[in-house]
Structure 1
Amino acid sequence: MIRKMRLPWHWIVIAFACNFLYNKVMLTLPTVTAGLMSGSTDNKVLWDALMFYVLFTIVLCADVALRSPARHVAARNVRRVIWKKMLHVRMEYYDQNDPSNLMSTITNDATLASEYLVGFLVGFLPTIYYMVVALRTISSYNIWLMLSVFLLLPVKILYAVFIGKWQYKTQFGVFQRIGGLTAYLAERVRNLTLIKTYTNEENELENGERASHHLFDANMKVNKLNCVITGLGTLIGMAQTIIVMVFGVVLLKKGTITIQQWVAFYMFSGTLSTAFSNVIDYWMQLKTIQGILVRTAKLLRAPEEDDPGKGRTDIQGTEICFEQVSFSYGDKKALTDISFKIPEGKTTAVIGLCGSGKSTTLSLLERFYEPQGGTVTVGGIPASQLALGGLRGQIGYVQQGADIFSGTVREAITYGLHDAVSDADIWKAAEKTGFADILRKWDAGLDTLVAPGGTSMSGGQRQKLVLTREFMRGADIILFDEPTSALDAAAAQMVQDTIFETFPDKTKIIVTHDLSLLERVDQILVLHNGVLEGCGNYRELYGKCEAFMELIAVCQSEKEAAQ
């Protein structure tokens, strides 16, 4: 984990050195203070004490000041590592793990874990150094004084082991519940209109309170643990103080040690007790880190996609072939031994009922998933041999809802374009797709603000914006996933015309239920339960492919019902 987390080692080394110096200065505190408390009025003693406290203040401030940047830089770096990992993990991982649930690994887990880890790396060894030197100094006074410090050590070790295990369990529970609450709220916030449409605010309030209550229960377990830690820690500390005082007083009465040694020993015993407690705290912090990072560790071990730059880049043409391709989501079969060819520069429609394998076909082409049987080729080259960046750079995608991120219209149109684009280029593309007519109606033009998900725009406007973006991208293969399903008849016809007029020579694959679109494409693939039932144009399939005729009947019934 440490190797993968890209910790800021230069900051940690600086903070470590400062903390080491702080502990070294702390070792002289009991001696200096004992000199003052023993009644000495010697000028040198007073001057040494004054200089010590000035130095102590400077070192303490530096220690605090340098630890903080090390923790924040570490948290920033860890968040970047986790986010990068989430972007490159293979899609099947997200079939089993909700991405919304993993959001808190970046916002919560990474920050706390990195701060605790930096605190451990910076403070643990200096604390051990302080304990060793302090014990050696005490033993120079009297060996029995040193032994008195160790009497409760077995109790402290048992305490650390017991509390550490409890700490791991409680922290894992808390951060798991935080992830669950974050996922629930993220999904509901994205679909507030659905909640309001069904007037389900009260039920969702109860569901939210239930998720929040689970987190409350986990936090109460942490609170219970903290109470135990406080109680046991106080008892052990008091027992340690009593033992030290008894030993010190007995030796002082016997004349074995001087009053100055007794004062120094008493102060050392207090700081040593704190040092022992700090070592236990560091142990518990490690168990806390372990509990916090369970989900993060699982994520960082998840399989990644191939390196975008690894593989062949010599894509020759855009003819696409599926040769006996099969794929399953776990035990659920999605495609079974399908074979077809999509000619270069032609338009192919992929149709079928829900669950027939249409979206899976597009996902395999883009290598979001790898076939479990058979081969997908692009330009005669197996897609698995092509560089991901090169392959996906050749593919444009117009999704069903024409989803776009928040920002300005300019940012939405240029999203994913890696070269500089001028406003003139954007307007030229917008004229081509017909989006320019929409832009002129907005006072801010390209600077018009877009709400998250493009909800401030109509479906037709979003589709035209996305088509403009794809035109500027210039991909040779363009995938359209139900591009007209959410539009009225007029808007659907307008988007259809834009597709065929704007991308005439591109290889187009359209997943659709729109009957009017089917008559305009060059080829239709008919899928049913993951099996290819028919392949040909509208005339070749009409009346000859049973699955095709059933789909037409279903689409016509839906169209008549809508009217």
Structure 2
Amino acid sequence: METNAIFRKNYGSFRRFFSMLGKANLPYLWIVGYLAASAVIANVGVSSTEYSAALFAGNVGLTAVVLPYLFYQILSLILSSVSGLINNLCTARMDRNLRRMVWRKTVSLPLRFYENNNPKELLSRITTDISSISNLVMKVFLPIFTTAYASFVILQKVSSYDGALMWSLVAALPVNILISFILGRLQFGVQDLINRRNAELTATVAERTNNLMLIKSMSAEAKEAAAGGERMKASYRAAGMNIWITGTAIPIRAIASVLQTIVIILVGRGYYASGALSLTEWIAYYGFAIQLTNILSAYCGYWTSFKSAQGAVDRVSEIMAEPSENLNAGSTMESPAGGIRFEKVDFSFGSEPLFQGLDLDIPAGRITAVVGPSGSGKTTLLNLIDRLYPLNGGLIQIGGKDTSDYSLTSFRRALGYVTQESVMYAGTIRDNLLHGLGRTPSDEELDEACAAVGILDYVRRQSLGYDAPVGESGASLSGGQRQRFSVARALLKKPDCLLLDEATAAMDIGGKAGVWASIRQVMAGKTVVYVAHDAQTIRNADYLIVLRDGQVEAAGEREDVMASNSYCREMMENGEEGR
């Protein structure tokens, strides 16, 4: 498998790669400063080499040779330090700008993208791979131009001694190109493989560490340790292949460099013996030739580094090429007033259709419960109302207006949605309550929202109050507490339409009753749509919809549907629906 990955035909897309760099807001002024400093260093290097040659030839005149030599050496050191500083600053700025760019892209991708890609693998894209891109620009792309200019200056100086000498130096170029091409192809494949194996390992470790309670409760420590070991072994094998390729490249380049040096010495010695070159010029020629050989060897490294980095960031460029959600296209929704209507709605996950020609009306200003067996489309129904997925066909209207006419940003801000997961982030209670709110409510308003869902006493027991940390993913909270905070967060939006997906499933009986009493009071005259999961919760509804196999089996007033629908009767008798 690894061998096929190395020699696969797709060696990355240059167009995607450079298109991505074009969007990265590179620090162009700093880059220009780096290029200018490098150009000056190249010219200073030529002068320094000539004065060095004069010293080796025995010319030790203080003002004619020694002092100029010291001046150019000191100037070269100063400029090199400045150039290195600028290079490092540019690299740091690129890292920052590229990470911003990729993160913004990541959060704007549609949910469909994450169904086909492991979200946790994106960790390495935003961290390790971004560093590869910035290093590629500053350690490969720009040095290609700076060393090309340095080569031009050197060849120009050598040609002033004798034109044939210049061409003797250029003759070594094809050998370096051939070596670079072969090693580059190998390096790209193996680096791409390393990148993918490391991303898989990162995703596995992140997922398992977030679910250690399950692992321990199932006594699965040995199994998970073995599974993680296999991921690590795969990463090790990929790294081992890279070590072999790199180890092979070093002696190949060394042999090529030695052969080039021998040729240079023989050619220069011949010109010196014939009297075409003075001793100073022959020594200078040798110094320039060694510099040029080093530059050509560096080009081998540049090409290999380019192919390596191209492999490492290929996935990043693919992410940047993915179509994003157009969050701001459309008119602004002020308030989602009115009933919700599904008209001939088609929707599928992959090739499996869920809704086909679905027609459904949800009344305005009432509390509507959606029930049905597992896989009937209850959660998907709420996701489509919130426009988390695009429709395959048909339309959804609110108040008689097509929801797709509104911008996604304004539409989603106008609705409140509490998902099954009751997501909490690492941070404080306040951070989580205000997440995505767009305003900063007072503590009194936070108290009202928390009191409505029965969590205010918990907040007041914390020494830091709303500034108390909740742990990673709300780890310090119980499932019921996370749900209460999630409902409070939705109520702080003051929505005219509230969607709840099993939002009270983790609460006790008394907690559910209290939260629903508050929802009915706060959302009086507004639209509430929720997925009901048990007999107690279904009693909070005014209107009831039964889904089965992606179709509406029954819809109407709660008492009427419960009396006429066998699934609802069974649910009430058993106390819980089939999820």
TM-score range, shorter chain: over 0.9
**Contact 1:160/1:284, CA 8 A, preserved across alignment:** yes
What is aligned with 2:168? Answer: 148
- Structure 2 length as normaliser, TM-score? 0.92
Q: Separation in 1 of the partners of 2:538 and 2:163?
A: 94
Q: Secondary structure at the match of 2:503?
A: coil
1:541 corresponds in structure 2 to 561
Mind listing any 5+ residue stretches in structure 2 that lack a counterpart?
Answer: 1-19
1:124 aligns with 2:169: no
Cα deviation code 1:298-340 (max 9, x no counterpart) = 1111121123353343656142111121100111122222211
Question: 2:127 & 2:367 partners in 1: Cα distance?
Answer: 44
Establish whether residue 369 from structure 1 lines up as the match of residue 389 from structure 2. Answer: yes
For 2:52, the equivalent position in structure 1 comes to 33
| Cross-structure match for 1:192 | 212
3-state DSSP of counterpart to 2:461: coil
Percent identity over the alignment is 29
- Match in the other structure for 2:431: 411
Where does 1:91-170 land on structure 2 (aligned, <5 Å)?
Answer: 91-170=111-190
Equivalences for 1:347-362 in 2 at 5 Å? 347-362=367-382
Q: 2:542 aligns with which of 500, 522, 544?
A: 522
Report what 1:481 is aligned to.
Answer: 501
- AA partner of residue 377 (structure 1): Q
CA distance in 2, matches of 1:183, 1:492: 36
**Secondary structure of the corresponding residue to residue 325 of structure 1:** strand
Q: Extract unaligned runs of 5+ from structure 1.
A: none
Task: Give the secondary-structure state (helix, strand or coil) at the position aligned to 2:424.
Answer: coil
Cα drift, residue 375 of structure 1: 0.7
Q: Would the aligned equivalents of 1:12 and 1:121 in 2 still touch at CA under 8 Å?
A: no
Cα distance 1:278–1:153, how it changes in 2: closer, same or farther (>3 A)?
Answer: same
The one of 7, 21, 29 aligned to 1:2 = 21
The DSSP-based 3-state class of the residue aligned with 2:537 is helix
1:395 maps onto 2:421 in alignment: no
Deviating more after overlay: 242-251 vs 104-113: 242-251
Question: Greater shift after overlay, 31-40 or 334-343?
Answer: 334-343
8 Å CA contact 1:523, 1:537 repeated in 2: yes
* Alpha-carbon distance in structure 2 between the residues aligned to 1:557 and 1:34: 91
Alpha-carbon spacing, 1:121–1:151, altered in 2? closer, same or farther (3 Å): closer
Residues 487, 503 of structure 2: 8 Å contact kept: no
* Aligned residue-pair number: 559
Distance 1:286 1:248 in 2: 34
Higher mean alpha-carbon deviation, 316-325 vs 493-502, is at 493-502
1:445 is aligned to 465
C-alpha distance in 1 between matches for 2:558 and 2:468: 42
* 1-structure distance, mates of 2:43, 2:397: 67
Query: Structure 1: how far apart are the matches of 2:68 and 2:343?
Result: 86
Match of 1:247 in 2: 267
Provide the TM-score with structure 1 as the length reference: 0.95
Does the CA-based 8 Å contact 2:187-2:304 persist in structure 1? Answer: yes
Post-superposition shift, 1:254? 2.5
Q: Check whether the contact 1:88–1:304 (CA below 8 A) recurs between aligned residues.
A: yes
Partner amino acid, structure 1, of 2:54 = G
Q: Does 1:326 align with 2:328?
A: no
Matched, 1:79 2:99: yes
Matched residues in 2 for 1:68 and 1:542: separation?
Answer: 70
Q: 1:336 is paired with a residue of what secondary structure?
A: strand
CA contact (8 A) 1:318 1:477 kept: no
- Summarize deviations over 1:241-267 as a string: whole Å, max 9, x none: 111111122222222211111111111
Post-superposition offset of 1:558:
8.1
1:38 maps to a residue whose letter is A
Show the 5 A alignment for 1:332-347. Answer: 332-347=352-367
Q: Note closer, same or farther for the CA distance 1:162–1:91 as it changes in structure 2 (3 Å cut).
A: same
The residue correspondences of 1:257-272 to structure 2 (distance < 5 A) are 257-272=277-292
* Structure 1 partner of 2:34: 15
For 1:236 and 1:402, the matched residues in 2 are separated by 63
CA distance 1:35–1:310, change in 2 (3 Å)? farther
Q: Which moved more, 1:494-503 or 1:60-69?
A: 494-503
Q: Supply the distance in 2 between the matched residues of 1:228 and 1:441 (Cα, whole angstroms).
A: 65
Residues 557 and 517 of structure 1, relative CA distance in 2, 3 Å threshold: closer
For the residue of structure 2 that corresponds to 1:2, the secondary structure is helix
Distance, in Å, in 2 between the alignment partners of 1:470 and 1:556 is 25
Q: Verify: 1:302 aligned to 2:359, yes or no.
A: no
Structure 1 equivalent of residue 6 of structure 2? none
- For residues 113 and 245 of structure 2, what CA distance do their matches in structure 1 show? 34
SS in 2 for 1:50: helix
Whole-angstrom CA distance in 2 between matches of 1:116 and 1:160: 16
CA contact 1:30–1:265 (8 Å) conserved in 2 = no
- Counterpart of 2:44, as a letter, is V
In 2: Cα distance, 1:260 partner to 1:407 partner: 70
SS in 2 for 1:224: helix
The worse-fitting range, judged by mean Cα deviation, of 358-367 and 500-509 is: 500-509
Offset from partner CA, 1:395-445 (integer Å, 9 cap, x none): 112222422111111212222221222223322333333322222222221
Cα displacement (A) at 1:483: 1.6
Whole-Å separation in 1 of the counterparts to 2:374 and 2:46: 73
Aligned positions of 1:262-301 closer than 5 A: 262-301=282-321
Residue 293 of structure 1: SS of its match in structure 2?
A: helix
Whole-angstrom CA distance in 2 between matches of 1:55 and 1:381: 71
CA contact (8 A) 1:316 1:380 kept: no
- Residue by residue over 1:360-407, the C-alpha shift from the partner in whole angstroms, topping out at 9 and shown as x without a partner, is 111111111111111111221111111112211111122224221111
Specify whether residues 374 and 555 from structure 1 end up closer, same or farther in structure 2 by C-alpha distance, changes over 3 A only. farther
